[in-house]
Structure 1
Amino acid sequence: MNQTALDISERRGKAISNCDHWELATAEQKLALYDLHRFGYRLLFVRHSVKGPMAVICQQDDIAIIYHDGEVDLRPKISLRQPH
């Protein structure tokens, strides 16, 4: 199933700071991102889903997901909408 992640600022009307997104992440997601940070990954945003928060991260043009339990998907079926 292909999902489209909306830009948070587009949905909410104002941008959420990176610190706010970081606070929405679970401890497991934070630990996984710490490990991936040395490879150049950075947090884009945290999206809430029925199964829990999903942290959307990127390294240059590569998008990845960290699920609520810390599992990393380096090839998610997700596309990001470009800001207008």
Structure 2
Amino acid sequence: MDQTALDISERRGHSIANSEHWEQASAEQKLALYDLHRFGYRLLFVRHSLKGPIAVVCQQDDIAVIYHDGEVDLRPKITLRHTH
């Protein structure tokens, strides 16, 4: 499944606080992120899909996603666009 994630400021015209993204994540995603945090991953943003929220996380240049049920995909087919 290919997904394109837009930078949050591009979509909304302003950035929202990381704490707001954290609040949008499911409990299972938060637990998975706690585990990934030990390896240096941090939460970028949470997107909503028909199947539930998708948390996008990164560690330097490595992107991963955490699905609503806590399943982690370390090699997602996702493209991030950056604003300049």
Both proteins in one fold, TM over 0.5: yes
Q: Tell me the equivalent position of 2:53.
A: 53
Unaligned runs of 5+ in 1: none
Counterpart-to-counterpart distance in 2, 1:44 and 1:27:
17
TM-score by length of 1: 0.97
Aligned length: 84
TM-score, with normalisation over the residues of structure 2? 0.97
Q: CA RMSD in A?
A: 0.7
Q: Partner of 2:34: helix, strand, or coil?
A: helix
Aligned to 1:9: 9
Identity of aligned residues (%): 82
Structure 1 residue runs of 4 or more that deviate by more than 3 Å after TM superposition: none
Asked if 1:66 corresponds to 2:83, the answer is: no
For residues 32-68 of structure 1, the C-alpha deviation after alignment (integer angstroms, 9 at most, x for no partner) is 0000100000000000111100000000000000000
Structure 2, unaligned stretches of length 5 or more?
none
SS in 2 for 1:65: strand
Question: In the TM superposition, what is the alpha-carbon distance from 1:9 to its structure 2 partner?
Answer: 1.2
What corresponds to 1:42 in structure 2?
42
